[in-house]
Structure 1
Amino acid sequence: MAATASFPARKPARLDAGTILWLLVLFCAVTLYPPGDVIETIRHLRVPDTDDAMRLVEARDLAAGQGWYDNVQYRFLPPGGVPSHWSRLLDAPLAGLLLALTPLLGSGLAEGIVAAFWPPLLFVVYAAVLWTGVRTTFGKRAAVLALLAATQTFGVTVQFAAGRIDHHNLQMIAILGMAIGLIRGGGRAGAGAGALAALSLAIGLEGLPSVALGALFAVGDWVLRGRPALPAFLGFGIGLGLAAPLLFGAQTAPHLWGATACDALSPPWLWLAAGGGAAALACAGLDRRVGSVGGRLAVVAATGAVLVGGFALLFPVCLGGPFPGMTPLVRDRWLLTVNEMSSVPKFLAGRRWEVLVYYPVLALAALATTWAAFRGPAAHRRAYGVAALLLWPGLVIGWFQFRGIYVASGLIPLVAGPALARGLALAADRAAAPRLRLGLVALGVGLVSTAWMIPVVLAGLIRDGGDTSATAASFACQADDAVTPLAALPPGTVLAPIIMGPSILMRTPHAVVAAPYHRAIPGLTAAIEGLGGSEADLRRHVAAHGVRYVIVCRTRPSQGLDGPAFATRLARGDVQADWLEPLPVGGDVLKVWRVR
């Protein structure tokens, strides 16, 4: 009788904790892009913001043959048009994708695919930068948790949503890369950080406070530590001082190289960037002669005084901010009504509770990293110090202007990942003090934006709180089904609500008088006074700008400057105007007239 072999029963394979974490990250990343949102972006060019629509218009014009240095939007305030202050460095890849895909798919489908998939591609870049930086400093587990936190940080995910082709996401990547370079230290990392700082400035000046504080960290590190910190300081100064002029020259027409622009990279900011590089070289040359903190501080104070004093003397117009020449009417009736220019108290006063998923987590990150920079593990204090220094501008500026949190939000996962890793490790350590374990777990959870949804939803604030009808009305005015039918009309200049300008440019062949951009003060004034004033005001601006069509959004009527606006009463049928011919387009959302 043959012997029967016996084998031990196999245990079912188990997933280790690391694999589970990676699967969770993958799941969260995939669910960032609901199929419905992607399909709507592809089919109907549904973009989150007016800036995304205008960016697509710029990229489309570049792909169609408009000159690289010619950044005038000729269908915006014709016939002269409005020169854009946006960067060609971001228009270029979008235009390149359009040129590659249009012959294969047609222009409409190509634009939809580019708008839908460009943000996820950038999110992959952001995730790669975040992973590399956190893994190098805090370890692999913290890096995986940082990626997980990134998928749950509203300030991050909103900038990488389908259709979000504006510049804030690329700027977020540049500032995160700058921070990681400063954390690593050394000449090569410092030069990379400086070059990324220059890239951020070339894309837009929103990152200027972060760049200034990044430079301050490099300078302060040299003042306190001397020669060991010199390579990073010198590298940052040279990287910024060389890259900024090169990027400026690459995207700016030579005849404009001497023109001052307070809202874009131009001579005022080149003075600071290139001057900072020269100052770093001067400090390096004097390093052996100034062996004390006091001596190095004196050198830095002298060079800083030259830079700042020269800026004030040479470019005094920029001391008042990026919007010189803006009239009180435009500031009060347009700029201060824009969501991204609103303060946190204004959001709360209007019961716009969604601000609670953005601002508190930023505040907690800034406070926690500030504490850790002084009291945390010695090996990580430099990392926490850089993060804290770059988080505080977002916290302070964001309190007064919501857009201040945009760039800073990209640094939250850099802090949240290590905090979550530390909290999980202590939670499993029975020997650790319960108060410490509970505190670190609470900190880790508090650094995840989605956690802040829980008390808000439980309280019914988002569901039953602030009035969201104005936001819904704004989207309705710009939507594909409302605006695209206007393309059937013979091309002409349109006077429409400011918020509609980019959508009209993107979806129709018409020109517009007004769009939400501060360089077009006459157009903004025409929309505010013309659509918000009397019949005489409307006729005056229609004649001044050669307007062929007047449009009123029924779901968002203009607020009158002094009582009910004539255009609003006209849309309601309360008054008549023989010089305006009603047109049967616009459906239930828009009211359209042809000027006779």
Structure 2
Amino acid sequence: MSLAESSNPTEPAPKTSPVRLLFRLVLVVAILIAAYQMLGPYWTRVSSWNLSDNDDAMRVLQVRDWLAGQAWFDVSQHRFTEHPVSNIHWSRIADLPLALTTLITSLMFGQSMGEKAAAFLTPMWLGLVYVIAAVKASVALGGKKAFVPAIFLITCAPAVLPYFLPGRVDHHGLQLIFLAAALWGLVAGGARMAVLSGIAIALGIGVGLEALPLQIVLIGWVALRWALRGAAVQDETRWFAASLGLGLAFCFVGTVPEAKWAAPVNDAIGRGHAVLGLVGGLLLALATLFPTARLGPRSGISSRLVLLAVIGGIVLSGVRYFPEVIVPPYDQIDPLLKRLWLNNVTEAAPMMKAKLSAILALTLFPVLAGIASIIALLWAKDKERDLWILAALTIFVSVALAVFWQGRAAGLATTVSGIMAAALIGKLMEQVNFKTALIAALIVNPIIPGFVGSKVAEYFEPKISKFSTGGGSGCFTERAFSGLKAQSPGLVVAPIDMGSRILLTTQHRVLAVPYHRNNKGNLASYRLFLAKPEVARTMAKDLGASYLAICTKSAEVAILSREAPKGLMAELRDGRVPAWLTPIEKPKGSNVQAFRVNLD
């Protein structure tokens, strides 16, 4: 029988049975109910502007002002006291995902609800992009059998998942995406993927410098691999180096106004990062054009190492002309603010200062993944060995950054670890057997070892109950600030961690915000609350303050009261309100106590 005879276009399609249709309907309804149960509480929080972090609130503000007409190159928050000096160290690149979503949701729901819908949706679709890039990287290194382990290891990591929950519109999730994309490009190989990797690293640096030490490791690995492998990787190296250098230049020119090109910046992409990155990238790309392979294996390696040393020397010598690139970004903060504010910001502190349970929960998985990478390195051969060297290097460097520098680097460590651990499990399934792969998966994963270790450690730790910096939900929500919002616009003097929330939920200006460039305003706020009430009155008058506000359940109240037992903050905490302040009625459930300043 021919194909034509067996196919009857007029024959009706087979009917789906009612039982099967009912099953599908029940499945869809169950999925919708599960999604509602899981995401409903997050929508409740976002719709009341009860965001997880100050930076999430500030990101919404940045996008709101930009879409309302503020210039692309103007990242100042105009309601800081020090404007126009008060531009924060953020990049417009990180505003793009939220802005794009806001434009769409505002057309659907209006400006106010559209903003909230965008803050709810943006982290989730960015999370999908992150999972795709990370899974692609795992499969590129570990083969097709790494797909399922990658889905589990990448989506269930406690150190990464919070960055993609509804409302988390800060830039850290975007940095993890660029890191995953950079690793994908490096392990996949080929000129096109090398371009992806170079651009991803450039964009990551353009967004923020928190991952710069790890990105330098990736760049150094590419350069050293070329010196040792030569012709086998010269095309990949050339395209990577050129795209990285040009990408950094474009990020700088495209996000920094021309008037600030000469400014020495050490907390965001600046002249030094752009120039040194461009020079280093182009020199490395040009070096790959030299025919060192004709000199023989040993002479070729020696020649490439010499070229690499020369390029490194040129780039490092540039520090003499751009010394700001090696200056710690928080050096400009006043010592008082470092002691009372910055040292109490959890994500900016090294994890070595955290409790053992927290350290184990967030770093045990990367440590195990690093050990597994070393084992895989001994097992692998040739070019694949280079990739496991990259895995071990990036994992251990990122763990060191989290433990000894800033705790937020735990997300970087977990990203690399998830990609590499899934690849290793895939390799074991393919080349050894399923049982061995399963044992490895049970040992090297982000849930079991860290959870068990942290719970055991937590059992022996003293139980300490205290408010977190910023306070509870009564200090965060739109309703909590409604009493202050009802007042005529003016300058609000409040503790540092209230600044972003006041700007988001009211029309007032603020003196203090949780950003290190606002050194003058933050210091003025703390000094006012530390001063005795009558001295504080004079300071409030000199500042032109209209209102004072505190969150009664904020750690800052306790910290400032402990620092100055007879200061204004201690008096307000204990309910002793000086005559020059009039309490503003606060709504039910609010822990925000605001005061009108009476200086007439």
Provide the TM-score with structure 2 as the length reference.
Answer: 0.86
Q: How does 1:454-469 map to 2 (within 5 A)?
A: 454-455=451-452, 459=456, 461=458, 466-469=463-466
Kindly provide the amino acid, as one letter, of the partner of residue 335 in structure 1. L
Query: CA offset at residue 101 of structure 1?
Result: 2.5
Q: C-alpha separation between the residues in 1 aligned to 2:416 and 2:535?
A: 48
Q: How does 1:235-314 map to 2 (within 5 A)?
A: 235-288=239-292, 291-311=299-319, 313-314=320-321
Q: Does the CA contact (< 8 Å) of 1:87 and 1:203 recur in 2?
A: yes
1:95 paired residue number:
99
Kindly provide the amino acid, as one letter, of the partner of residue 490 in structure 1. S
User: Once the two structures are superposed, what CA deviation does each residue of 1:500-553 show, in whole Å capped at 9, x if it has no partner?
Assistant: 111111111111111110110012212322223433553354234321111122
Please, which of 543, 546, 556 is the counterpart of residue 545 of structure 1? 543
Query: CA offset at residue 368 of structure 1?
Result: 1.9
For the residue of structure 2 that corresponds to 1:559, the secondary structure is helix
Q: How does 1:109-508 map to 2 (within 5 A)?
A: 109-288=113-292, 291-311=299-319, 313-348=320-355, 353-376=357-380, 380-400=384-404, 401-421=406-426, 437=436, 441-452=438-449, 454-455=451-452, 459=456, 461=458, 466-471=463-468, 474-476=471-473, 477-508=475-506
Query: CA offset at residue 429 of structure 1?
Result: 6.0
Query: CA offset at residue 424 of structure 1?
Result: 6.1
User: Once the two structures are superposed, what CA deviation does each residue of 1:199-231 show, in whole Å capped at 9, x if it has no partner?
Assistant: 101111112112211111111111111111211
Q: How does 1:554-569 map to 2 (within 5 A)?
A: 554-556=552-554, 557-560=557-560, 562-564=563-565, 566-569=567-570
Query: CA offset at residue 464 of structure 1?
Result: 8.2
Q: Does the CA contact (< 8 Å) of 1:73 and 1:81 recur in 2?
A: no
For the residue of structure 2 that corresponds to 1:261, the secondary structure is coil
Q: Sort the Cα spacing of 1:464 and 1:485 in 2 relative to 1 into closer, same or farther, 3 A.
A: farther
Q: Sort the Cα spacing of 1:525 and 1:128 in 2 relative to 1 into closer, same or farther, 3 A.
A: same
Q: Does the CA contact (< 8 Å) of 2:142 and 2:426 recur in 1?
A: no
Q: Does the CA contact (< 8 Å) of 2:51 and 2:476 recur in 1?
A: no
Q: C-alpha separation between the residues in 1 aligned to 2:261 and 2:558?
A: 40
Kindly provide the amino acid, as one letter, of the partner of residue 56 in structure 1. V
Q: Does the CA contact (< 8 Å) of 1:478 and 1:499 recur in 2?
A: no
Gaps of 5+ in 2: 1-26
Q: Sort the Cα spacing of 1:468 and 1:227 in 2 relative to 1 into closer, same or farther, 3 A.
A: farther
Q: C-alpha separation between the residues in 2 aligned to 1:427 and 1:281?
A: 39
Please, which of 510, 513, 516 is the counterpart of residue 512 of structure 1? 510
What is the RMSD of the two structures over their aligned residues, measured on CA atoms? 2.8
For the residue of structure 1 that corresponds to 2:127, the secondary structure is helix
Are residue 592 (structure 1) and residue 594 (structure 2) matched? yes
User: Once the two structures are superposed, what CA deviation does each residue of 1:171-193 show, in whole Å capped at 9, x if it has no partner?
Assistant: 11111111121122332222221
Query: CA offset at residue 58 of structure 1?
Result: 0.2
1:580 paired residue number:
581
Q: Does the CA contact (< 8 Å) of 1:171 and 1:200 recur in 2?
A: yes
Q: Does the CA contact (< 8 Å) of 1:393 and 1:404 recur in 2?
A: no
- Taking only the aligned residue pairs, the percentage that are identical comes to 26
Q: Does the CA contact (< 8 Å) of 1:237 and 1:277 recur in 2?
A: yes
Query: CA offset at residue 374 of structure 1?
Result: 3.4
Q: C-alpha separation between the residues in 2 aligned to 1:285 and 1:423?
A: 38
Kindly tell me the number of residue pairs found equivalent between the two proteins.
558
Q: Sort the Cα spacing of 1:377 and 1:226 in 2 relative to 1 into closer, same or farther, 3 A.
A: closer
Kindly provide the amino acid, as one letter, of the partner of residue 317 in structure 1. E
Provide the TM-score with structure 1 as the length reference.
Answer: 0.87
Q: Sort the Cα spacing of 1:466 and 1:385 in 2 relative to 1 into closer, same or farther, 3 A.
A: farther
Kindly provide the amino acid, as one letter, of the partner of residue 447 in structure 2. T
Q: C-alpha separation between the residues in 2 aligned to 1:457 and 1:301?
A: 44
Q: Sort the Cα spacing of 1:532 and 1:376 in 2 relative to 1 into closer, same or farther, 3 A.
A: farther
Q: C-alpha separation between the residues in 2 aligned to 1:465 and 1:143?
A: 41
Q: Does the CA contact (< 8 Å) of 1:483 and 1:504 recur in 2?
A: yes
Kindly provide the amino acid, as one letter, of the partner of residue 330 in structure 2. F
Name which of structure 1's ranges 169-178 and 398-407 shifts more when overlaid on structure 2. 398-407
Query: CA offset at residue 558 of structure 1?
Result: 4.1
Q: Sort the Cα spacing of 1:50 and 1:134 in 2 relative to 1 into closer, same or farther, 3 A.
A: same
Q: C-alpha separation between the residues in 2 aligned to 1:375 and 1:42?
A: 48
Kindly provide the amino acid, as one letter, of the partner of residue 583 in structure 2. P
Name which of structure 1's ranges 135-144 and 461-470 shifts more when overlaid on structure 2. 461-470
Query: CA offset at residue 77 of structure 1?
Result: 1.9
Q: Sort the Cα spacing of 1:196 and 1:565 in 2 relative to 1 into closer, same or farther, 3 A.
A: farther
Q: C-alpha separation between the residues in 2 aligned to 1:123 and 1:366?
A: 24
For the residue of structure 2 that corresponds to 1:286, the secondary structure is coil
1:11 paired residue number:
none
For the residue of structure 1 that corresponds to 2:595, the secondary structure is strand
For the residue of structure 1 that corresponds to 2:211, the secondary structure is helix
